[in-house]
Amino acid sequence: MSYADLTFTGLKIADGKPEIPGLPSITASGSEAKTLELTCGDACAGLRVTLYYTILEKEGVILRHQKIENTGSQTLKLENAQSLSLELPAQEYDFLSLYGTHAKEANRFRFRAHHGVQKTESVRGSSSPQYQPFFALVSPGASEEKGEVRAFHLIYSGNFLAQAECDQFGNVRAQIGIHPDAFCWELSPGETFHTPEAVLNYSDDGLNGMSHNFHTLYRRHLFPRTFAGKECPILLNSWEGMCYDVSLDKIEEQSSLAKELGMELFVLDDGWFRAGNDSRSSMGDWTCNEKKLPGGIRAAAEIVRKNGLKFGLWFEPEAISRKSRLYENHPDWALHVPGYPMTEGRHEYLLDLTREDVRTYLKEMLDSYLKDGMIDYIKWDMNRPLTDVSSTLLPAEKKGETFHRYILGLYDILGWLKDTYPHVLVEGCSSGGARFDPGMLYYISQNWASDNTDAFDRTVIQSGFSLLYPPEVIGAHVSITPNHQTGRTTPLDTRYQAARLFNLGYEMDLTKCTEEEKNEIRRQTAEHIEERSRFLDGTFYRHDVPNDNYVMWSVVTEDECLAVVFQKFFDPLCSHGRFRLLGLDPDADYMDAESRKVYGGDELMQIGVTVPLVKEDFHTFVIRLKRAFCCTGL
C-alpha cells in the first residue's frame, strides 16, 4: 500500500537511551540522558511507529531515530524512512555543508537558504568525500565565535540525504536520514525496522560552540571506550617509503630509524600480500607473500617489536581482485548484477557484505592474524564506491535492501572486531576521508583525513573535519616534500605544525632524511610526547582571522593555550592585523613561553596579538601561553 495515516497513541519517558539493534549509536546511562518515546499507529495499514527523542543536557544535543513495526497481516514496503524531521520558524538561515573529492575533502560550502529544497547527499554506498552526512542552518551573521547554529549529523556510513526546504511562508523543514533512492525495505508481519540515529545540535556560540558540542558528545558517548581519552601513538606509515615494494630489510631499517627519532608505532601498508608490486592482484586472499617477507607477518612484527615499536598492518577487507584465488573459488561473493559486466575500480570489486558466509570468511581471516597478539593496530581501508549493487542471495523483491544491508554487514564485522579484540587500535580509511563519519567512529578510534598530506591543503581539510570531530581522531601525517599529491614544497616545521594538534604521524622514507631533518623530527616527536597528555582533553578552536591569508587554530586547557597561526603566502601589501585568542580566563594572567611577557586573559581575547610579516610562503607562528599564578613565575 502507499498510504498511511499515523495518529498519536501514547508516550513514555525513560532514563538513559535505548540501543539501536545492528546500528551504531550514542550510549548514555540513566543519569546522563532522558528519552521521550512517542508512539503513533495506523490500525488499517497495520503500522506502528515509535519516535525516540533523547536529550543529553550537558552536551547540548537531542538524538532522534524511529522504530517502524508491521503490526498487520500483509507485507509493507518502506520507501522513505528519515531519522529526523524538524520544523523551524520562518527566519533567514545560511545553509552550511562540507563538500570535496579525493585528496580535497571537507571544504566548507555556505550560501543563503532559499525557497525550495537545498540538499546534500550520497548515493555512492558510503558517506563519501563528496559530501559529509551533515548540514547546518546558521544565522547569516554567524562566525566561528558568535551566532546561532542548528546542526544535523547522521550516525551512519552509507547512502544519506540531508536537506532543508523553505516553504512559501518562509518556514523551514530540516530532514536527515537514509537516502530514499535505491532504498526499499520489505517489512513482513511482525518485523521491525530501525532508522540510524541523527544528532540535532544547537549552539548560540557560533561554529566553535557547535563543534564543542559534537566533540564532547562523541568523546564521552560514541568512541570505543578502550581508546577514548587515551594518548595516540606517533606512527610511521610505510607507504611513501616503500609503496608495494616491501621487504624485511626495509622494515628493519625504517622501524629502527623510527624508534631512534621518537616514533612509537610502525605500520606496514599495502604490498605485503601482493603477487607483484602493483594493485592488480591478490586482494581478498590475504596471504602474506613470503618471497617479499620470509617468515610472514610474524617475522615483520618481531623485527618491529625488537626495535621497540608497536606493529600495525594494512587491510582492505571489503575488496576482491579478479586475479585472486578467492574470486576463482567464489565469483558469486562479489557484488554484481547477473548477466551484466562488472565494474572495476582500482583493479578490484567489492565483496557482498550482505552475505553471512562472506562476513564469516573475513572474521576468520582477521582472527588468523590477530589471535597471536603480534598486531597492535589495523588500518582498515576501502578504496572505491559501491557499484553493481545487487546480492545474488536476495530475492527480487528485496534487491532494494542491498545498500543498507551492506552497511549492516560492515557494522557486523566491525562490531565483532571491536568486541573480540578491544585492545587493537583500528584506523579507518577510504581513499583518504571518503568514509569519515560518526557511524565508523563508533567502532574505530581514529580516521585518516585525506591521502593529500600537503600542509597547505591540510589546513583546509582539517579545519573542515574539526567542525564535527575532535582533533585526536583526525589522522594527520608529516610527509615528504615536494608533496606527492600536489608537488608543493613546504618547510618541515610547517608540515609538523599542521599535524601537531591532531593525530600525529609520519609518512616518508626516513633513510632519505638529512641529519638536520632527523634532528628536527626528533625534536618534534619529543615535544609532542611531552605535551599531548595535557592537551588531549583540551578545547579546540578555529579562529576568525584578519584576512584569508591566515589560518589559526588553538587548543586551550585550564592552565595552557597552544595556538598555531599559518601564513599562507608572503604578501607585503597584506596587513596581517591582530589575532585574538579564545577560551582563556579573562580574569587570569598568562605568560608567553617564548618572550616571558605576561598578558591579561581579557587583553589576549579582546585585543589579541600580532605576528611579524615573514618573507616566506607557508610559514607558521606558534603562541604558547601558560597561566601565571604569581608575578614572579608560573
Q: Where are the beta strands (DSSP E) in 156-306?
A: 160-166, 172-178, 185-187, 192-194, 197-203, 235-237, 265-268
Secondary structure of residue 204 in the 3-state scheme: coil
Q: Write out the H or E segment, with its range, that includes residue 299.
A: helix 296-306
Please choose, from the candidates 433, 427, 340, 331, the residue with its C-alpha nearest in 3D space to the C-alpha of residue 379.
427
d(CA 607, CA 600): 10
CB contact at 8 A, 267 and 507:
no
At 618, the amino acid letter reads F
Residue 19 Cα distances to 10, 58, 194, 298, 562, angstroms:
21, 20, 10, 38, 38
Backbone angles phi, psi at 518, to 5 degrees: -60, -45
d(CA 478, CA 513): 13
The cell numbers describing 239, all together, are 607507504
Indicate the length of the chain as a whole number.
Answer: 634
Residues in CB range of 426: below 8 A, 6 or more apart: 377, 378, 379, 380, 414, 417, 418, 443, 444, 445
Greatest Cα-to-Cα distance within the chain, rounded to the nearest angstrom:
81
Catalytic residue, from 381, 457, 493, 589: name it. Answer: 381
Radius of gyration of the chain, Cα coordinates, nearest whole angstrom: 25
Please choose, from the candidates 620, 376, 615, the residue with its C-alpha nearest in 3D space to the C-alpha of residue 478.
620
Q: Write out the H or E segment, with its range, that includes residue 427.
A: strand 425-428
Q: What is the DSSP string of 510-570?
A: GGG--HHHHHHHHHHHHHHHHHHHHHTTPEEEE---SSTTEEEEEEE-SSEEEEEEEE-S-
**Residue 451: active-site member:** yes
Q: DSSP label at 483?
A: -
**Residue 94: active-site member:** no
**Residue that is written with C-alpha cell 549552539 in the block:** 203
Catalytic residue, from 352, 376, 451, 457: name it. Answer: 451
Q: DSSP label at 512?
A: G
Q: DSSP label at 384?
A: S
Active-site residues: which are they? 381, 451
